[in-house]
Copies of this chain bind each other. A is one copy, B any other.
């Protein structure tokens, strides 16, 4: 089903069962896989590939227990030129994927997120709301990127890393702040980052580390709790 208001460019290949809701725009030389759902207002650039069974432009939802209520009207999902999105993924309204971004299969990106040019979001990775990711960042498979994070350019986050943004674990209306990861830092697989910590420029966090305090520029930490092994 293609809504008659959709604007679709030249040389666009649409799979079987694609749903395009109202007010969608798609550039030239775009490939959309089978059973993809493109929700209303989504804007897709040129030379983009969206794989099968993916949802673009989902709106937020909540139940009465959730602290963070859906806010005011979200803008559209904006997808830049040359973006690739895998199968069975879900990307929300109000988010921007800049040109050349790669999003793997089975991943999910919430609203109010910006992902910079040529960055990689691995398969099965989750990015929560209100997080900014720079250019040429690698977020590997299975990472959990919490809300309210800042990830600068050229950061590398290994597989299955976990972050958090609520020191009080739902106990009250405290301000939430995710980790801040400065330019060029590298995080090993399955590391755990506590709320609000800063990982400095070009710092290294070893695999499996539980990072309980800030890591200075160029320092290396390992262990549970994290301890410095190189300055």
Contacts and interface: CB of A to CB of B under 8 A. Distances in A.
Nearest to A185: B169
Contacts of A58: 51-52, 87, 105
Contacts of A131: none
**Copies of the chain in the assembly:** 3
A98 to B, nearest CB: 11
A37 B18 CA distance: 13
The 8 closest A-B pairs by CB, nearest first: A208-B210, A192-B208, A63-B102, A162-B190, A160-B162, A190-B192, A164-B189, A169-B186
Given A15-B19, A88-B88, A100-B64, A108 B106 contact: yes
A207 interface: yes
Contact of A126 (B34, B89, B141, B225): B141
Interface in A68-89: 82, 84, 86-89
A45 to B, nearest CB: 14
The A interface is mostly helix, strand or loop, or mixed, namely loop
A164 B158 contact: yes
Contact of A86 (B51, B61, B158): B61
Interface stretch (A5-13, A22-30, A117-125): A117-125
A187 B90 CA distance: 27
A38 to B, nearest CB: 10
A218 interface: no
Nearest to A135: B65
A106 B62 CA distance: 16
Nearest to A65: B118
A221 interface: no
A44 interface: no
Interface string A202-227: 00100110101000000000111100
A112 to B, nearest CB: 16
A133 interface: no
Contacts of A4: none
A97 to B, nearest CB: 11
Contacts of A207: 162, 164, 192, 194, 210, 212
Interface in A162-211: 162-164, 166, 169-171, 186-190, 192, 194, 204, 207-208, 210
